[in-house]
Structure 1
Amino acid sequence: MKRTLLLITGLLILLATEILRVYFIMPFPGSQRSNTIDIAYFIGQYIWWIRIAGLILFVPPMLHVFRHSRWWKKTLLGIFVLLYAGIFYMFNFKFLADKMFYQPQNKLLATVGENKIDSNKLIIGVAINGQAKAYPIELIGYHHQVQDSIAGQPLMITYCTVCRTGRVYSPFVNGKFQHFRLVGMDHFNAMFEDADTKSWWRQVSGVAIAGPLKGTALKEIPSEQMRLGAWIRKYPNTLVMQPDPVFANRYKGLEGFDAGTINSSLEKRDSGSWQFKSWIVGIQINGKAKAYDWNELTRQRVINDTFQGTAIVLVLENDNASYHVWNRQVNDKQLLFTWDASTYSLKDSTGSVWNMNGESIDGVLKGNKLSVVQSYQEFWHSWQSFHPGTEMYKK
């Protein structure tokens, strides 16, 4: 009886360890709605010790069964051993995030003249010291992160398709360059693990949520999301990331993601407003957050608002995909903007005309440029989860 209890206990420890280690940090049913990150991190960090404990309990009674028990007990136990072997293989070599999504083997960047990416594709764009690069979302969405540099500054360009969140960070932690790997997700948001301390970092905020560096934040680098054509209009000398031929078939899995029509239930858009996977534009100023319904922006095309003392304007281009959030205060004047569909331009309360690069091209303010307010297009569930006190714009 004692041997049987040890056998069952050891087997349950071995099975539970392999399953829960992955279950808590991957999008299995029910796994992403509870606060289990500390348990997941503990299992991940001490998994070999837990395995050894399970094997110490399991192996001696297992050997006794194979040596002294009847054939049917040996057969039954053999089935359970094979079950464990199968679970061990699947949960360590198939279901782990970094065994499903890989970094580019060939990081290819092309000039506008050499570019093969459709100009209608959505990109995350970064510009530093006059140099610009564009990263197509349907490429970086598969990789989850791409390490690159602009103007000599190392960058970590990240994207989580389940939250529809694009963020760019400096990969330096306490002054030291770090390599990161995709480790899983928490509350549907991707997590990365740094190579040195094995801390886990949340993609949407760049904050370490488990490990020795818990509470530390990566420095965010300003970025914009728009269609590639709009980015090229703004930065004609930009470089554009190209598909890595090694992952051509993997990229196909994200076809339709840009438009929200992808088949995946985790990544497909809810067309209604303020639903779980509805699109919103989110901003954060002075530690406070506000969300703007994408459907409302589509209807109005221009939204003038004031948040945390900052006068802002949200503008949606005619392509219904490229959007901008600008500070609408210029030379101590808070401007009110309207959309002139006949000239495809913005007009402000002084009568000045502005283009989609945020530049005044006619009128008394000609030559002025609006400053960009950092903003993000993402799923409502993501913004609400990670900005629990967020305001909601209502007309």
Structure 2
Amino acid sequence: MEFTRRQFVAVAGLSAFAGCTSDPDRNSERDPATTAGSSDIGSTSVADGAVPTADETLKLPMEPSDLESLAVSGGPPKDGIPSIDDPSFVGPDGVDFLDPGDPVFGVALNGDVKAYPQKILVQHEIVNDRLGDRSVAVTYCPLTGTVQGFERGQTTFGVSGRLINNNLVMYDRATETWWPQILATSIPGPWNSAPGTRSLREFRLVWTTWEQWRGLYPNTQVLSTETGFANNYGRDPYGSYNPRSGYYTSENTLFETLEEDDRFSRKRVFMGARTADGAVAFDKSTLLEKRILTGELSETPIVAVADQRLNTGYVYLNPDERTVTTDGNRVLVGDSSYEPNALPLTGIHTFDAMWFAWHGYYPETNVYA
């Protein structure tokens, strides 16, 4: 069943708003919000003098031009969903707009600890910010349940007004290249001045709750509702996460999906991880319950570990098949104990995604549920 985003808001009976309707080590252990497998925010290669790109280019599910041809209008035009380009933050004692169970996207990296509330990002999708001395973009797509962090260098990112696989298509304001958010890899776009395919440098944001994040980071900074836009941040046009309702529980998507797979409900949350060699998905609820799951990515053994403090998980390559077990909130590799995000293994960038969105982009993914 397909609607435009404007139609969905009208059907839901909600008012229109500007947006969808118009690394530091610590005692040899990384911060729990700094993911294993994230591209460290540090030295970069810079494409076209402005956009930092990764050394390794991720594989696309089809030719870039074919992906571009599948882009559909989400309703609002280019920048009709306005990015936040001058964000302000408040301390935890100044937060009166979040309930304990409200989702936030947390990061502790490069000397900064910040939380970005879902109820703000659902109306803007991109926050152009800084973590320490590095320029970054925090991006969220409500239709696919994906939050991704990218280094942005000398430019900013905006919302193109297009969707592929129901997923946000960003553009950078230096070259006007299109960047599908989940893929983190460029496709041409109609305004592109920098041809070629390359991938962005990513960093991890943890999808957790305000209660959990504040409990672990009592001095966190929080994105303020003083965004410069007259939006009602108490109302989500798609439904609710606290409690979960509306679009987030329905089997309907607003636009066509790239692939169909009925093994799982469309909105079931998986923790997806991908490299240039392949992709893998772990059912999030199963991982949180069992604490340790094993699998393979392109015939290389991998292990996923849960971090119950923040209700998240991390994925590692484990080519030597080292024994990994749990010990309370810590993880044992052999006889040594580690934080879940700091195992002595090679981490793979991992993030939450709705099943239909992950499978649509990675139909050959290995799945562990």
Aligned to 2:203: 221
The 3 A distance-change label for structure 1 pair 234 and 304 is farther
AA matched with 2:223: M
Aligned to 2:313: 324
* Identity score, percent: 18
Aligned partners of 1:327, 1:39: CA distance in 2, in Å? 33
Aligned to 2:367: 392
Q: Which runs of 5+ in 1 are unaligned?
A: 1-22, 30-34, 42-90, 360-367
> How big is the shift at 1:134?
1.6
Aligned to 2:322: 334
The 3 A distance-change label for structure 1 pair 303 and 348 is same
Question: What's the TM-score, normalizing by structure 2?
Answer: 0.65
Superposition pairs of residues 1-395 of structure 1, within 5 angstroms: 37-38=68-69, 95-98=75-78, 100-104=80-84, 107-116=87-96, 117-172=98-153, 176-210=154-188, 211-214=192-195, 215-244=197-226, 246-249=229-232, 251-254=234-237, 257-258=240-241, 261-264=244-247, 267-268=248-249, 274-305=264-295, 307=297, 309=300, 311-315=302-306, 317=308, 322-325=311-314, 327=316, 334-338=322-326, 345-346=329-330, 348=332, 373-394=348-369
Question: What's the TM-score, normalizing by structure 1?
Answer: 0.61
The 3 A distance-change label for structure 1 pair 179 and 279 is closer
Aligned partners of 1:244, 1:262: CA distance in 2, in Å? 26
Aligned partners of 2:235, 2:5: CA distance in 1, in Å? 21
Aligned partners of 2:219, 2:157: CA distance in 1, in Å? 29
AA matched with 1:261: R
Q: Choose between structure 1 and 2 for higher RCO, CA contacts under 8 A separated by at least 6 residues.
A: 2
> How big is the shift at 1:391?
0.7
Cα deviation digits, residues 215-243 of structure 1 (max 9, x gap): 23322223332223333444443311122
The 3 A distance-change label for structure 1 pair 179 and 103 is closer
Count of residues in Structure 1 that have an aligned counterpart in Structure 2: 295
Larger fraction in helix: 1
State which structure, 1 or 2, has the greater radius of gyration over its C-alpha atoms: 1
The 3 A distance-change label for structure 1 pair 346 and 184 is same
- Contact 1:223–1:374 (CA under 8 A) maintained in structure 2: no
> How big is the shift at 1:131?
1.9
Decide which moves more: 123-132 or 302-311: 302-311
Calculate the aligned-residue CA RMSD, in Å.
Answer: 4.1
Aligned partners of 2:335, 2:193: CA distance in 1, in Å? 56
Decide which moves more: 288-297 or 246-255: 246-255
- Contact 1:224–1:374 (CA under 8 A) maintained in structure 2: no
Q: Which runs of 5+ in 2 are unaligned?
A: 9-65, 253-261
- Contact 1:201–1:207 (CA under 8 A) maintained in structure 2: yes
- Contact 1:279–1:377 (CA under 8 A) maintained in structure 2: yes
